[in-house]
Amino acid sequence: MPLRVEPLTRAAIAANRFGFGARPGDLAAIVGDPRGWLLEQLRTPYRVPRELEGLASSREILATYLQVRQERAEEKKRGQEDLAITNPAVQTLRAALMPHYVAQADARTRIAVTSANSFRERLVHFWTNHFAVSVDKPVCLGIAGAFENEAIRPNVCGRFADLLLAVERHPAMIMYLDNQRSAGPHSTLAVRAARRAYDPAGPQLGAGPQLRAGPQLGLNENLAREILELHTLGVDGGYTQSDVTSFAAVLTGWSIGGGAGPNAEGERGAFLFREALHEPGSKTVLGRRYEDAGIGQGEAVLRDLAAHPATARHLATKLARHFVADDPPADLVDRLTHIYQAYDGDLGRVSAALVTWDGAWLRDAHKYKQPQEFIYSTLRALDVLPKEPKVLLASFETLGQRHWSPGSPAGWPDRQADWDGADALMKRIEWSVALAGRIDDATPALAIADASLGPIAGGHTRTALANADSGAQALTLLLMSPEFQRR
């Protein structure tokens, strides 16, 4: 039996461990039923947060991207033959996409700092990171935020299969993992290209460096591999290289409309199943044979992957690691796995099972906050929010966690050792000093500690705050205290 934890402490745990931290008044508002407050957030039907109103959709942004890209390609074509994306082209694209990134990241930050349903918001961030795209790829700079809002947000409390399908057909994921041009070796387009390449009347192979041998059209296995390894089964989930190749063939044709030249078909910037790229015929993935049904073949494999026991355990482990402990208790992982399987991947129920597990309410915090969590919880505790997006977003750069920039499809890592470098700690200190120096509000740090951490703020920290030289110093000490750095 867990130790009895008093209600105010439970309120602080609810706000900090499961949410993005307490705003002034939050603890008092939820102290009556902290657990019920969390569960209610899972049951509330999805509504688009008003911060997102007026933001461009991924389709609109992608249309801009494709157009700029096409213009650059045409300019380049006039000069030389190679269509590879070179630095100046990347610069032009970044300039076109950056305003969208800033607007999306700004809105995301404002939601995280002000939301009354910050547990649900944490789940949004968790699933976005599970299905990570990274803005170091130019196209994702523009649409990573739209991807979160369109594919992730509406689905975090629904069935995992629906979330998975929404993600894998979203243009951001398709382009991040290079599937838009992946072609079946026997697809209509590949066969036609091969015929042209070997046309005796056409150019001869080896005639010069501008004529290139090798495949012109074929598979790209990136998306298929990362779906198996990262999105569903997990790396030890029992798939082989031949499953990867076969699944890649299944996914051929999952593409984007309105490209250049022969890819002009379809609405520019929207998902498009391109029959002409799709590898015909039945395929076998994980020992199961799937008849060809065009896009239906891929959908069927994804549904089966969502229902796979290895997927249940993989997701349960990641959720438990994120909310409870770096090495989560086996009984919690078992429980979440069981709920996932018993309720057909119902993520609302799985998330609720996390909250209703007594072990998640132990007073000692085991998770070190990631930089974004530290920033959100700080701004919530202080009830401040810089108006200028650039000022707001600079903090994420400084502390090493810009929005949607994990640098790899595995997403941000989720263990203390990944975040607690000496230099990272110094950056947090410097940032806290700079912030505390700009707060005019005379609310004493001890009062902020009470409203934010409640009884979690211990005696040693309280003494340090009481003995501080100035209000700003006390505030810095609070933000950098062990209790505030963990959740």
Q: Would you tell me which residues interact with other proteins (CB under 8 A)? A: 82-87, 136, 177-178, 181-183, 185, 190, 209, 212-222, 225, 229, 235, 241, 244, 398-400, 407-408, 410, 416-427, 429-431, 433-434, 460-461, 464, 468-469, 473, 476-477, 480-482, 485
Cβ-contact 375, 385 below 8 angstroms: no
Q: Looking at beta carbons only, is 116 or 429 nearer to other proteins?
A: 429
Q: Looking at beta carbons only, is 114 or 252 nearer to other proteins?
A: 252
Q: Looking at beta carbons only, is 345 or 406 nearer to other proteins?
A: 406
Q: Which helix (H) or strand (E) holds 284?
A: strand 283-285
Q: Is 366 helix (H, G, I), strand (E, B) or coil?
A: coil
Q: Looking at beta carbons only, is 47 or 78 nearer to other proteins?
A: 78
What does the block give as tokens for 350?
A: 């799985």
Minimal distance, residue 90 CB to other proteins, in Å: 8
What does the block give as tokens for 135?
A: 């803005």
Q: Looking at beta carbons only, is 114 or 129 nearer to other proteins?
A: 129
What does the block give as tokens for 246?
A: 């076969």
Whether the CA torsion 372, 114, 131, 347 is positive or negative: it is positive
Please tell me what DSSP assigns to residue 368: B
Q: Looking at beta carbons only, is 136 or 267 nearer to other proteins?
A: 136
In degrees and rounded to multiples of 5, residue 109 shows phi and psi of: -65, -45
Q: Looking at beta carbons only, is 29 or 90 nearer to other proteins?
A: 90
Minimal distance, residue 35 CB to other proteins, in Å: 29
Whether the CA torsion 171, 172, 174, 180 is positive or negative: it is positive
Q: Looking at beta carbons only, is 204 or 241 nearer to other proteins?
A: 241
Minimal distance, residue 221 CB to other proteins, in Å: 5
Report d(CA 13, CA 17) in Å as an integer. Answer: 5
Q: Looking at beta carbons only, is 105 or 124 nearer to other proteins?
A: 105
| Token pair 């010069």 in the structure block, residue | 208
Minimal distance, residue 16 CB to other proteins, in Å: 17
Q: Looking at beta carbons only, is 214 or 261 nearer to other proteins?
A: 214
Whether the CA torsion 110, 475, 369, 138 is positive or negative: it is positive
Minimal distance, residue 104 CB to other proteins, in Å: 21
Q: Looking at beta carbons only, is 41 or 317 nearer to other proteins?
A: 317
Q: Looking at beta carbons only, is 342 or 425 nearer to other proteins?
A: 425
Minimal distance, residue 146 CB to other proteins, in Å: 21
Cβ-contact 104, 137 below 8 angstroms: no
In degrees and rounded to multiples of 5, residue 426 shows phi and psi of: -65, -40
Report d(CA 247, CA 227) in Å as an integer. Answer: 10
Alpha helices in 5-155 (DSSP H): 7-13, 26-30, 34-43, 58-79, 87-114, 118-130, 138-147
What does the block give as tokens for 379?
A: 């701004």
Cβ-contact 148, 134 below 8 angstroms: no
Q: Is 233 helix (H, G, I), strand (E, B) or coil?
A: coil
DSSP strand pairing (254-256 vs 288-290): unpaired
Minimal distance, residue 225 CB to other proteins, in Å: 7
Which is nearest to 238 in space by CA: 319, 335, 309? 309
Report d(CA 69, CA 89) in Å as an integer. Answer: 8
Minimal distance, residue 342 CB to other proteins, in Å: 28
CA 2 to chain centre: 33
Minimal distance, residue 180 CB to other proteins, in Å: 9
What does the block give as tokens for 254?
A: 């999952």
Minimal distance, residue 206 CB to other proteins, in Å: 8
DSSP strand pairing (283-285 vs 271-273): unpaired
Minimal distance, residue 70 CB to other proteins, in Å: 15
Minimal distance, residue 394 CB to other proteins, in Å: 8
| Token pair 């709920």 in the structure block, residue | 339
User: How many residues comprise the chain?
Assistant: 487
